[in-house]
Amino acid sequence: MSKYKYLKEQVYEANMEIPKEELAIVTFGNVSGIDRAAGAVAIKPSGIPYHRLRPEDIVVVDLDNVVIEGSMRPSSDTKTHTLLYKSFPSIGGVCHTHSTYAVAWAQAIRPIPNLGTTHADHLTAAIPVTEVMSDEMIEGNYELETGNQILDLFAAQGLSYEEVEMVLVACHGPFTWGKDPAKAIYNSVVLEEIARMAYLTLQINPSAGTIKQSLIDKHYFRKHGKNAYYGQE
């Protein structure tokens, strides 16, 4: 039996949320999870439709993107996932989808402003969007550079990956992460809804703007940090 059986099942379950939550059509999304002790990342195989995916199809790679278990080719986005794992030491899962509203903001190359408490419940900042990648980066090690583009953005804006667990890659779409694969896909669900609400809000009132800092802080810290009182923990 595979020593990665539990991880592969977790990653399988998280991938199956993509079609269930309507976050991508056909094959346009993938979730991974990491076993930090083993240095092993389990990820969806490339190009397999969700309705044909089985737990045993999940591919395991090391942090250098070498397949260590599985007969299929891993997701073409694997290098982006592994770079995020290497750079964000406390995360356990990464998710990439082409969910419709998040993609629309990414294609519009616009950050999603914090327009209400649904957003503030999850992060205080606007949901950031990367710069358009240079030709050199695109024509080079593209999927690795996609990860670098995210890292550069977080560095330039002074964002914490532990607070901001989501990003839009310009002209492409969203990446999200979290403590485990389930949290990564949860963040993709939340991002898509925030993206849709923000779209509609600005259609109704084009001058709607970022809500006040006290309201952002109230909602964010109701759910996060030592004084949180939302939920059961």
Residues near a second copy, by CB under 8 A: 25-26, 28, 45-48, 72-73, 76, 98, 100-101, 103-110, 115-118, 121, 132-133, 135, 138-139, 142, 171-173, 186, 189-190, 193, 196-205, 208, 211-212, 214-215, 218, 222, 229-232
**What is the closest distance, in whole angstroms, from the C-beta atom of residue 24 to a second copy in the complex?**
9
Three-class SS state of 146 = helix
Instruction: Print burial letters for 102-135: b (CB count within 10 Å at least 16), e (below 16).
Output: bbebbeeebbbbbbbeebbbbbbbbbbbbeebee
**What is the closest distance, in whole angstroms, from the C-beta atom of residue 192 to a second copy in the complex?**
9
Strands (E), 46-141: 59-62, 67-69, 93-97
Number of H helices, E strands in the chain: 8, 7
| N-to-C CA span, the chain | 35
Neighbours of 1 (CB within 10 A): 4
Catalytic residue among 121, 161, 186, 217: 121
Based on the residue annotation, tell me whether 230 is a catalytic residue of this protein: yes
Contacts of 231 (CB under 8 A, 6+ apart): 223
C-beta closer to a second copy: residue 39 or 117: 117
C-beta closer to a second copy: residue 35 or 211: 211
**What is the closest distance, in whole angstroms, from the C-beta atom of residue 84 to a second copy in the complex?**
18
Catalytic residue among 6, 64, 152, 230: 230
Please give the Cα distance from 190 to 153 (Å, whole number): 21
Based on the residue annotation, tell me whether 121 is a catalytic residue of this protein: yes
**What is the closest distance, in whole angstroms, from the C-beta atom of residue 89 to a second copy in the complex?**
26
The catalytic residue positions are: 121, 230
